[in-house]
Amino acid sequence: MSDRLKAAKARFVSTWGEMASHWGINKTMARIHALLIASDAALSVDEIMATLSISRGNASMNLRALMDWGLVRRVSVGSERREYFQSEKDVWNMCCRIARERKKREIEPVIGALEECLREAGEGQDSAAFRRRTKELLELVKTLDFVLGKVAAQEKNAVMPRVLTLLKAMS
């Protein structure tokens, strides 16, 4: 691989890691993901460890997390005992997996908690303003939930690209 390409891939990996840490995602997890996206072939744990200078334990834990997110899968290469990893390469599928997980892990619990707030606040006059604002916020979060749901289902029904086309046309 040329030095230029190596440098470009290194920049890619570090950009992805930097971005992820602004969005509440472990930087190393994102760097591994980026490395696998940038790599044509599947990589072994040892290659990942060497390229990113991380320990075996760290690599193992973050690969597990990436598999839990559905972004990376294990593959066997030939008759080798060792396991290799490769990323989902289609960016839309990637996006939809992320949407599905974040919806499930982070949006749905908030909807539940806000509904509990409303229940807890009761019916009294003194809580009217609070209830109104909580309801508005709940609506907003439900909208986000709805949109993420659409993105998550995108593998099947491809509604999102159509909506985006429309949105662009409305500019």
Partner DNA sequence: TAGTATTTTCAGAACTTATTGAAACAATAG
Partner DNA sequence: CTATTGTTTCAATAAGTTCTGAAAATACTA
Which residues of this protein are in contact with DNA, per CB under 7 A?
Answer: 21, 26-28, 44-46, 53-58, 60-64, 80-83
Q: What is the Cα–Cα distance from 109 to 102, expressed in whole angstroms?
A: 10
**Min. distance of Cβ 127 from its own copies in angstroms?**
5
DSSP state of 128: H
1 is in the binding site of which of its own copies, DNA, none (Cβ under 5 to 8 A by kind)?
its own copies
56 is in the binding site of which of DNA, its own copies, none (Cβ under 5 to 8 A by kind)?
DNA
61 is in the binding site of which of DNA, its own copies, none (Cβ under 5 to 8 A by kind)?
DNA
Contact 34/47 with Cβ under 8 angstroms? Answer: no
65 is in the binding site of which of DNA, its own copies, none (Cβ under 5 to 8 A by kind)?
none
**Min. distance of Cβ 22 from its own copies in angstroms?**
5
For DNA, the closer CB: 21 or 93: 21
What order do you get walking across the sheet with 43-44 strand by strand?
43-44, 83-87, 72-76
Neighbours of 101 (CB within 10 A): 16
Q: Which residues bind its own copies (CB under 8 A)?
A: 1-2, 4-5, 7-9, 11-12, 15, 18-19, 21-24, 37-38, 40, 89, 91-92, 95, 105-106, 110, 113-114, 116-118, 120-122, 124, 126-127, 129-130, 133-134, 136-137, 139-140, 143, 146-147, 150, 159, 162-164, 166-168, 170
CB-based burial, 117-135: b 16+ in 10 Å, e otherwise: eeeeeeeeeeeeeeeeebe
Contact 37/72 with Cβ under 8 angstroms? Answer: no
**Min. distance of Cβ 150 from DNA in angstroms?**
28
How far lies 119's CA from each of 112, 127, 143, 153, in Å? 11, 11, 20, 31
**Min. distance of Cβ 131 from DNA in angstroms?**
28
58 is in the binding site of which of its own copies, DNA, none (Cβ under 5 to 8 A by kind)?
DNA
* Residue 63 burial (C-beta neighbours within 10 Å; 0-12, 13-18, 19+): buried
**Min. distance of Cβ 79 from its own copies in angstroms?**
26
Neighbours of 94 (CB within 10 A): 17
